[in-house]
Each structure stands twice: as structure tokens, then as C-alpha cells.
Amino acid sequence: MAHASSLFLPVNFNPISRTKLGRRHHRTGISAIPPLSTAADVTAVAGAFDGTTVAFIGGGSVAALAAALSLANPERRRRMQREEVGGGDKEVVKEYFNKDGFQRWKRIYGVSEDVNRVQLDIRLGHSRTVENVMKILTDEGSLKGVTVCDAGCGTGCMSIPLAKEGAIVSASDISAAMVSEAQKKAKEELLKAGREDEHPTGVTLPKFAVKDLESLEGKYDTVVCLDVLIHYPQSKADAMIAHLASLAENRLILSFAPKTFYYVLLKRVGEFFPGPSKATRAYLHAEADVERALAKVGWKIRTRDLITTQFYFAKLVEAVPASQS
């Protein structure tokens, strides 16, 4: 869903500037690494540790942290989440975004001032992702009449600007609460008084549906799937990428949480300090793995981008059929 993918880290770290770390000083340790998010629940940063900063981790402290992290058991928490809602990953995601997660992400993706600084930062990062996607799509020409599948539409942050540009949008999300909010926002922003399906300028209202990614079918010029792959381990992500590619005729745009040593470390720390909030599981994906999954079904990456703020990190790729020049 275009809303479901932040990793949280209640301990507020910040990255080292390499220019400030000479080779002689590598032993001084790590100074402030920012929490990682790509749109399950970074708002937990303001939770258990209330913004407490771990300023320096050096020498024996690094070893101690590594040992402590090795004892963390995120899989146990994941199993407990599954048991609580009576199902697997999909049920956990659906439960979260129909209840606590819905209210949280509705605020983040809205215009309300009732957000903390972390949520505001995530809003900024996500809006940049949407802007970058719109630029990719409109740089090639008008979207008037272009069919677009917004897979994991969330509250309509992507669907509505697409419709404003004249695209024919089919949008879906696993969360009924999110879909209902997206429909409400679309009507408020796109419909003129007295009409049920058309804006004064001829813009068509997106068609919204409550569906998981596996249930999507049809053919579209473009398929967009933002901040959803974070809910899929790579073994399942490959099949999902293949499925999304099968729906697209010309373009597939994906965003995901990049898997690098740095982000893996942050995620591991976040799992060790889960905080009081019930966040969904978060899976990172190496860009090479995503590219390999696309290549298996005859697609190639044409455009790459990385959107980062202090609390939001997302890799954005545009893929096209390998036969395209």
C-alpha cells in the first residue's frame, strides 16, 4: 500500500559525516544515525525512548550492542502478531491498516497539523516520492486517457494527482478503511457539485476497490506500487513483482526499502527496541534482487531514484519491457 512501509527505531541515531571522520579516528564510533523508514511505524520513535539520543557507540560498546542485537527475537514477535490476528503477513497488514495504523497514516498523509515532527518528516518524504513519480510519468507527455493501476493506493495520495492529469485510474488497497478514505478525498478534490463521476475539467474519478495485490487483474499502460514491497520477504516479492509486471503494458513503477548494510543494521536495532506501538513487519530489498526479479519476466530498470529525509528512505525504480529501446 502506498502507506505501509516505515521501519521504526525508537533510539534516535544520526549518521557520521565521513568528512569529519579521519582514518585515525575510526575507533571513536558512530555518532547519530537517523531512523530508517519508507513510509510500518516510525512514529514509535517518539515512544518508549521519547527521542533519547545515543550519541556515541564506540569500542566495547559496539561489541556489546552487537551481542545484544543477536539476542533479539523479532521472529517471535512476528509469530505473536500472526497468532493474534489469526493469520499470516497479509492478515497482520490488513488488521493494522484497518485499525491503529489507519488513524496514524491518515494523519501522516493528510494535511492535519496534529502530527509530530517524525510524522511530518515522513509526510514530506512520501510527498516527494509522489512528486517524483508524477514527473517520471508526465515527462513523456500527457496522461490524458492513460490507464494506470495504483496497487496499494492507501488514502489516494497517488491516485488523485494521476486523475487530475487525466489518467484513468484503477486503485486498490488491502485496507477497507484506507479505500474508504481515498474515495472520500477523491470526491472532495475531483468532483464538481451535482455530478457523480466527472470533474468540471473532464477528470474521471478513480475506481477504488478493496483488494490485495494477488487479486489484481487486467491490463494497464502503467502500474504503480509504492511502499508495499516492504510487507513481502524477497521470496514472495519476486512473485509479486512478476505479477505486477504482467498487469503493465509499458511501465511499472515500484518503491521499496533498500537493503544495504547500513539499513539492515538500523532495522535490527529497531527490532531490538520495538517500542509500545504495534507496527507491521518490514522487509528490506536489495536493488539487485528487484532488478533480477524484473529481468526474469523480461523487464529492465530505466529510471532509478532514492528519496530520503531524516526518517524516510525509499528506492524508486521505473521499469519497462526489455524490448523497449
Model confidence pLDDT, tens digit, residues 262-304: 555 655 655 554 444 444 467 899 999 999 999 999 999 999 9
What average pLDDT does the structure give for the chain? 74
Cα dihedral value 5, 253, 209, 186, nearest 10: 90
Give me the mean pLDDT over the 243-256 stretch.
98
pLDDT-based confidence at residue 108 (cuts at 50, 70, 90): confident
Does 156 score more than 60 pLDDT?
A: yes
**Which of 265, 271, 258, 284 has the alpha carbon at shortest distance from 57?**
265
pTM assigned to the model: 0.71
Q: How far apart are CA 41 and CA 3, in angstroms?
A: 10
Distance CA 320, CA 103 (A): 35
pLDDT-derived band at 196 (thresholds 50, 70, 90) equals low
Which fold would CATH assign to domain 28-321? Rossmann fold (3.40.50)
Q: Provide the pLDDT confidence category of residue 324 given band limits of 50, 70 and 90.
A: confident
Position 188 scores a pLDDT of 92
Round to whole Å and give the CA distance between 147 and 169. Answer: 6
What are the structural domain ranges in the chain?
A: 28-321
Query: Looking at 3-12, 160-169, 195-204, which range is the least confident one?
Result: 3-12
What is the model's pLDDT at position 220?
A: 99
Report yes or no: 309 and 127 within 8 Å, Cβ to Cβ. Answer: no
When pLDDT is cut at 50, 70 and 90, the band that residue 201 belongs to is low
> What Å distances lie between residue 289 and 18, 198, 295, 310, CA to CA?
28, 41, 10, 25
pLDDT band at 55; cut points 50, 70, 90: very low
Distance (Å, whole) CA 158 – CA 38: 15
Of the CA atoms within 13 Å of residue 293, those in its CB half-sphere come to 24
Place of cell 545515543: 54
Place of cell 537517523: 34
Decide if pLDDT at 144 tops 50.
yes
Q: Rounded to an integer, what distance in angstroms lies between the CA atom of residue 117 and that of residue 115?
A: 7
The whole-angstrom separation of Cα 148 and Cα 159 is 9
pLDDT in tens, 208-241: 999 999 999 999 999 999 989 988 888 899 999 9
Q: pLDDT tens for residues 117-132? A: 888 888 999 999 999 9
pLDDT at 256 over 50: yes
Position 245 confidence tier, pLDDT thresholds 50, 70, 90? very high
Say whether 53 sits in a helix, a strand or coil.
strand
Instruction: For Cα atoms 276, 280, 282, give the angle at the middle one, nearest 5 degrees.
Output: 115
**In contact, 7 and 44? CB cutoff 8 Å:** no
Which pLDDT does position 158 carry in this prediction? 97
Measured distance CA(214)–CA(87) in Å, rounded: 16
Residue that the C-alpha cell 547519530 belongs to: 32
Q: In terms of Cα–Cα distance, which of 317, 306, 318 is closest to 125? A: 306
